[in-house]
Amino acid sequence: MTKRVITFGTFDVFHIGHVNILERARKQGDYLVVGVSSDQLNFAKKKRYSVYPQDQRVRILRALRFVDEVFIEESLELKAQYIEQYKADVLVMGDDWAGKFNDMQRHCEVIYLPRTPSISTSEIIEVVKAL
């Protein structure tokens, strides 16, 4: 039986931290589904639009050999529905979210993976803006 893993993120200004967490998420099962925050959801969360629009972020993720399926996440409140829809056995999130998705344990196993140290999209954007 295939063990299905799901994770979520914005994946803007794609960097090695994104590669690392997606590769490690894929190792938690046999099939990796990635929910990409829509442009509207990203604005609601961060009060700014992504550098790259959602269609480009989706295309980048679909090109990765360790990602099996990609969809647009329209709402943070629909996590449980996405888990059910994609038949996920495991939810993987970065440890910056530790504890915030424990309520999803009634739907699937929840694993928080350590983020890659010293790299963040927000910091990269700030550095570029300062140039």
CA-to-CA distance for 104 and 81, rounded, in angstroms? 10
Q: How far apart are the first and last CA of the chain?
A: 51
CA-to-CA distance for 26 and 37, rounded, in angstroms? 19
Alpha-helical segments (H) within 27-78: 39-46, 54-62
CA-to-CA distance for 7 and 35, rounded, in angstroms? 6
Q: Identify whether the C-beta of residue 81 lies closer than 8 Å to the C-beta of residue 47.
A: no
Q: Is 88 helix (H, G, I), strand (E, B) or coil?
A: coil
Of these residues, 3, 27, 46, 47, which one is catalytic?
47
Of these residues, 3, 27, 45, 100, which one is catalytic?
45
3 labelled catalytic: no
47 labelled catalytic: yes
Residues acting as catalytic residues: 45, 47
